Amino acid sequence: MEQHVKNVLKSHDQRLHRRYQLENEMTKVGLSEEAATQMRRMLHQKESNYIRLKRAKMDKLMFDKITTLGVGAFGEMTLVCKRDPKTLYAMKTLRKNDVIKRNQVAHVKAERDILAEADNEWVVKLYYSFQDRDNLYFVMDYVPGGDLMGLLIKLEILEESLARFYIAELVLAIESVHKMGFIHRDIKPDNILIHRDGHIKLTDFGLCTGFRWTHNSKYYQKDGSHARQDSMEVSSCNLDEHCRCEILKPLERRRNRERQRCLAHSLVGTPNYIAPEVLLRQGYSSVCDWWSVGVILFEMLVGHPPFYAHTPIETQQKVINWKSTLKIPSESKLSQDSKDLILRLLCGAEERLGVSGASEVKNHKFFASINMDGLRKQIAPFVPKIRYATDTSNFDPVDPDKLRNSDSEDLMRRLDSKMENGKHPEHAFFEFTFRRFFDDAGHTCPLPDPNSPVYV
């Protein structure tokens, strides 16, 4: 009930804010009273339509599946086309039974909340979220340029100028998340998407937290018996003292990153980018995201993560023991500024750059040549090749066996859900449904080819 009342009050505040924005813009441009009255009527009509649409039940049949973009531990990501209006989106489908069994309800709720609240250019935009008996659905921006991990696999090592551009944008993206009162906690190349214009967007907020009670797993447990199963669990295995710190050969780098890609899509995950204070459950703040930035910068310039190991358990231990395992290979020939930034990010939380805010990171001399204020408006140094609207060539091909396994598992879960009908916690997915106010993404004009969908 508390959550419902909070959302009702938030909707009221958002409506007042939209009216204030309209009045402010009309005053700036000096609209006549007659034109201003017409604009107020249009907004009023839009608000009325929005309230009506929010009450309308959404269904997956409103979207046509085009292709599968990826398969994960709890579901899949697909490229879909909304039938009316004909628009392309990325749809993330999560199986309810798996989410509950794996104690991921709080994580899903946190992801839904930040995507619903986020309305900036650095975060993948959520347009709709809805559910049916078996699944949860997130309908989001389709970002056709693939992710940063795919680019790292192709290029292996980035030129410092290109790395500087991506790290600068990543800093601004993380700053936007922190300003909303959230911590991402899972910043890694797989979660950094490259848009059609070459600029980045953050995605996958499954480990994000806003320190709200609805983002706490204990709230969704009846007896507290469920154990978290994610990449933050620390194993008690011994550290491999003979870890390698030299530069990996190109083939090794490629295999290493392909292994990381597999881990990223698994339930266990990869701890390569997670801060030691998070792994140790020592209490943490937003500075844990800046650690991840340091790891990614190291990987861009050296060719592999600083705590690379053959197993996630070994990697965890190397991260925890960073004081003895962090070494920058002399063969990598990094600039002094890049070395300094890496070492000031990969350090204790109390001394880490960013502890007093993102401005500490932005003001580092590594970014001296970057205009942070106008970065998004600049032409990106790398623009992905996109041949047509539904081009998915920048994403890894999906293993057909995974698709077959996913389909067969879905059937078994549906049978299980029939046998276990009614066992879902009643409050688990309450207030999950969402529809963005301006859900057409500005694509309201007729298309030259009516059979060709717009992508957002």
pLDDT tens, 147-197? 999 999 999 999 999 999 999 999 999 999 999 999 999 999 999 999 999
Residue 231 binned pLDDT confidence (cut-offs 50, 70, 90): very low
pLDDT at 267 over 90: no
Q: What's the average model confidence in pLDDT over 239-262?
A: 49
Quick one: pLDDT at residue 238?
A: 37
Q: What is the largest CA-CA distance in the chain?
A: 77
Burial per residue of 145-165, b for 16 or more beta-carbon CB atoms within 10 angstroms, e otherwise: bbbbbbbbbeebbbebebbbb
Among 68-77, 225-234, 314-323, name the one with the lowest average pLDDT: 225-234
Terminal alpha carbon distance of the chain:
35
Residue scoring higher pLDDT (131 or 229): 131
**329, 247 contact by CB (below 8 A):** yes
Residue scoring higher pLDDT (387 or 4): 387
Cα–Cα distance for residue pair 170/192, rounded to 1 Å: 8
Quick one: pLDDT at residue 236?
A: 37
Q: Which residue has the tokens 């059979």?
A: 451
Residue scoring higher pLDDT (418 or 276): 276
Residue 50 binned pLDDT confidence (cut-offs 50, 70, 90): low
- The CA distances from residue 346 to 341, 342, 358, in Å, are 9, 6, 15
Quick one: pLDDT at residue 281?
A: 87
3-state SS record for the chain: CHHHHHHHHHHHHHHHHHHHHHHHHHHHHCCCHHHHHHHHHHHHHHHHHHHHHHHCCCCHHHEEEEEEEEECCCEEEEEEEECCCCEEEEEEEEEHHHHHHCCCHHHHHHHHHHHHHCCCCCECCEEEEEECCCEEEEEECCCCCCEHHHHHHHHCCCCHHHHHHHHHHHHHHHHHHHHCCCECCCCCHHHEEECCCCCEEECCCCCCECCCHHHCHHHHCCCCCCCCCCCCCCCCCCCCCCCCCCCCCHHHHHHHHHHHHHHHCCCCCCCCCCCHHHHCCCCCCCHHHHHHHHHHHHHHHHCCCCCCCCCHHHHHHHHHCHHHHCCCCHHHCCCHHHHHHHHHHCCCCCCCCCCCCHHHHHCCHHHCCCCHHHHHHCCCCCCCCCCCCCCCCCCCCCCHHHHHHHHHHHHHHHHHHHHCCCCCCCCCCCCCCEECCCCCCCCCCCCCCCCCCEEC
Percent of the chain with pLDDT over 70: 71
Cα–Cα distance for residue pair 239/262, rounded to 1 Å: 23
Q: What's the average model confidence in pLDDT over 415-421?
A: 49
**196, 159 contact by CB (below 8 A):** no
Burial per residue of 229-248, b for 16 or more beta-carbon CB atoms within 10 angstroms, e otherwise: ebbbbbeeeebbeebeeebb
Among 50-54, 73-77, 210-214, 390-394, name the one with the lowest average pLDDT: 210-214
Question: How many CA within 13 A on the CB side of residue 286?
Answer: 19
**Among residues 361, 456, 442, 429, which one has the least CA distance to residue 3?**
429
Q: What's the average model confidence in pLDDT over 1-22?
A: 69
Tell me whether residue 197 is one of the annotated catalytic residues.
no
pLDDT at 441 over 60: no
Cα–Cα distance for residue pair 153/156, rounded to 1 Å: 5
Residue 261 binned pLDDT confidence (cut-offs 50, 70, 90): low
Cα–Cα distance for residue pair 394/151, rounded to 1 Å: 9
Active-site residue, selected from the candidate residues 113, 147, 186, 190:
186
β-sheet bridge partners, residue 147: 193
Quick one: pLDDT at residue 244?
A: 40
Question: How many CA within 13 A on the CB side of residue 195?
Answer: 18
CA dihedral of 11, 13, 17, 23, whole degrees rounded to 10: 110
State both tokens at 336. 């002094």
- The whole-chain average pLDDT of the chain stands at 80
Percent of the chain with pLDDT over 90: 49
Residue scoring higher pLDDT (231 or 50): 50
Cα–Cα distance for residue pair 300/281, rounded to 1 Å: 28
Quick one: pLDDT at residue 346?
A: 98
Q: Which residue has the tokens 């049949």?
A: 61
**Among residues 155, 163, 124, 148, which one has the least CA distance to residue 294?**
163
Residue scoring higher pLDDT (428 or 209): 209
State both tokens at 258. 């392909």
